[in-house]
Amino acid sequence: MRRMKADVGKVHPGDRVVVRHRLGTPDDFGHTLTDVVGEFVGQDDGEITVATRKGTVAVPLADVVVVKVVPPRPVRRGAAHRALSVDGMQEVMLGAWGATEREWLGRWQLRAGGGYTMRANSVAVLGSPGLPLANAVDHALDWYAARSLPLNVTLAGPVDFAVDDDPLGVELLSRGARVAERCLTMTADSARVLAALKVPVGRQTKPTAQPGLLGEPTSAGNTGALPPAGDTGEIEVVESVDDEWLAAHRGYRQSDRATAGATDGDMWFDLARTILMGSPAQRFARMRATGSGDIVALGRAGITPGWVGLGSIWVAPDRRREGLGASVTRALLESALDVGARSSHLQVLSHNGAARAMYDAIGFEPHHDYVNVILEQP
């Protein structure tokens, strides 16, 4: 949970919060403190307003002891990683990746990060913007124009949803927006994934996967097995990113505007460091080759209350098919589990059937789709 001061300066409308506050007089059991749980509405006239399941509650700011932001309320039955709505899961994902600037427009969060990654330079849609859609799109378009960026809206929905069935999608398409490649968000119980990653070759029962991010099946026989986590190098997991990790990371991110030359080297490192360190907590893993000490695999985990988001997992081309990506993933999940992140999420591009099969095999399940709908500046 993210602990805040009583001025709630970093809590945003729509966040689910616990507000602990003093009682005017002790209750029948002698308690002097109580909690209010619900959606943060705002702060005004010396009060914090929270929308609870039983109605709106106003708490005098002078009585507030602490405010904590907590995960969205589950809306589905079953395991924790399946329990959130699409908007709830998008909100969890919001915290797993940073940005250099954020601004709320109702329940839209406008994010910018100098062109480094789509996620850090897009609108996260978590609900209503509080304006008519056309006006909200105009506002967002102007906001990104001031930063020399296109308007990039992350539009999420059930698996295989149609962009032109969504009112916001219709508005953007009517203005000439293009739809980027679809991504699938997958979630899992971290303990289940860790158990799958520790199973030796030949013990898995899932279908054989084609080459993917976490490692590839070996060429010896069609066992239907995942590669075992590779044990041919040293893995280091740390809480802060350094220049060596960033340099290796930059080498394979040639698609980013910033990486491709929109900023010089020093500026790129500062930009990437700010964004990659932008979660409530994070972990960075690297594997070194035995002997040479060269970095042969990388990964990052963005940690939010109860969740870990996996990303930036990379294996050197000449070291693939050895399970090194699986080893990095396992190390990140173990580190996140140590701080209470029991559920995991990641994103897979729609064309990457190999990675999808691999994630299926280790326990990840489809949650929802999203697309980036991009409207260039006039």
Closest CA relative to residue 171, chosen from 101, 112, 108, 119: 108
Q: pLDDT confidence of 79, banded at 50, 70, 90?
A: confident
25 lies in which domain range?
A: 2-69
Handedness of CA 232, 234, 238, 242 (dihedral sign): negative
| Domain's final residue, options 158, 182, 206 | 182
Q: Are residues 290 and 189 in the same domain?
A: yes
Q: How many CB atoms lie within 10 A of CB 138?
A: 14
Tens digit of each residue's pLDDT (9 = 90 or more) over 177-220: 999 999 999 999 999 999 998 854 333 333 333 333 443 322 22
Angle of the 190-197 helix axis to the 324-337 helix axis, nearest 10: 140
Residue 298, in any domain of the structure: yes
Q: Are residues 231 and 96 in the same domain?
A: no
Higher-confidence position of 77 and 250: 250
Q: Are residues 8 and 23 in the same domain?
A: yes
Q: What does the pLDDT average to over 357-372?
A: 93
**Domains: count for the chain:** 3
Residue 159, in any domain of the structure: yes
Q: Are residues 280 and 312 in the same domain?
A: yes
Residue 370, in any domain of the structure: no
CA-CA distances (angstroms) from residue 206 to 52, 200, 241, 304? 44, 13, 35, 30
| Domain's final residue, options 153, 182, 211 | 182
Residue 70 CB-half CA count within 13 A: 15
Q: Concatenated DSSP letters for 86-120?
A: HHHHHHHHHHTS--SEEEEETTEEEEE-TTSSSGG
